[in-house]
Amino acid sequence: MISFKEISPSEFFYQHRELAGFSNPARALYSAIRELVENSLDACDGYGILPDVLIRVTETKPSPSDVKEFEIYVKDNGIGIPSEKLPKALGKVFYGSKFTLKQSRGTFGMGGTMSILYAQITTNKPLRVWSNTGNGETHYFELMIDIENNKPIVLKHKKFSQQNWRGTAIKINLLGDYVRSSQKIQEYFRRLALFTPYANMVFEDPNGEVFAFKRSVDKVPPPPHEVQPHPKGVDLELLRRIVQRSSSKTVLSLLINSFQRVGRKTALEILKIANVDPNKRPSELKMEEMMRIINAMKTYEKFLPPDPSCLSPLGKELIEEGIKKELNPQFVYALSRKPSSYEGYPFIVEAAVASNKTPGIKVLRYANRIPLLYDEKSDVVFKLLNEEIDLKRYKINEDEPIIILTHICSTKVPYKTVGKEFVADIPEVEKEMKLALQKVLREYSLFISKKVKIETQKKKKNVYEFYLPMIAKFAALLGETKIPSVSGLIDSVKVVDIE
Indicate the residue among 131 and 196 with the shorter CB distance to a copy of itself: 131
Q: How far is CA 162 from CA 82, 140, 158, 178, 230, in A?
A: 15, 12, 13, 35, 43
Binding mask 378-407 for a copy of itself (x = CB under 8 A): x-----------------------------
* Residue numbers 92-111 binding a copy of itself by CB under 8 A: 92, 94-97, 99-100, 108-109
Helix or strand holding residue 155 (H, E): strand 151-161
In this structure, are residues 214 and 202 in contact, taking their beta carbons and an 8 Å threshold?
A: no
Give the relative orientation of helices 251-258 and 264-274 as an angle to the nearest 10 degrees: 120
From residue 113 to residue 142, the character string flagging contacts with a copy of itself as x (rule: CB under 8 A) and all else as - is -------xxxxx--------x---------
Q: Which helix (H) or strand (E) holds 489?
A: helix 487-491
- The 176-215 site mask, x for binding a copy of itself (CB under 8 A), equals ----------------------------------------
CB of 227 to a copy of itself, least distance (A): 14
Alpha carbons 440 and 92: distance in angstroms, whole number: 43
Touching a copy of itself, residues 271-310 (CB under 8 A) = 287, 290-291
Give the C-alpha separation, 224 to 308, whole Å: 9
From 81-89, 246-254, 346-354, 480-488, give the range in contact with a copy of itself by CB under 8 A.
Answer: 81-89
Note whether 15 binds a copy of itself by CB under 8 A: yes
Given candidates 32, 74, 79, 311, which one binds a copy of itself under the rule CB under 8 A?
79
Using the rule CB under 8 A, which residue among 66, 148, 284, 390 binds a copy of itself? 148
DSSP 164-221: S--EEEEEEEEEEESTTTHHHHHHHHHHHHHT-TT-EEEEE-TTS-EEEE--S---PP
Do residues 390 and 398 make contact, with C-beta atoms less than 8 angstroms apart?
Answer: no
Q: Which residue of 19, 153, 256, 493 would you call a contact of a copy of itself, by CB under 8 A?
A: 19
How many residues belong to the chain? 499
| Gyration radius (Cα) of the chain, Å | 29
Minimum distance from residue 109 beta carbon to a copy of itself (Å): 8
The whole-angstrom separation of Cα 430 and Cα 397 is 23
**Minimum CB distance to a copy of itself smaller for 31 or for 356:** 31
d(CA 271, CA 254): 11
- The residue (of 9 and 401) whose beta carbon lies closer to a copy of itself is 9
Report the C-alpha gap between 14 and 120 in whole angstroms.
11
- State in angstroms the smallest separation of the CB of 421 from a copy of itself: 8
Among 137, 187, 277, 375, binds a copy of itself (CB under 8 A): 375
Q: Which is nearer to a copy of itself, 97 or 162 (CB)?
A: 97
Query: What b-and-e string marks burial along 381-398, b requiring 16 or more CB atoms within 10 Å of the CB?
Result: bbbbbeeebebeebebee
User: Which positions touch a copy of itself (CB under 8 A)?
Assistant: 1-9, 11-12, 14-16, 18-19, 23, 47, 79, 81-82, 85, 88-89, 92, 94-97, 99-100, 108-109, 120-124, 133, 147-148, 235-237, 241, 287, 290-291, 375, 377-378, 414-419, 424, 426
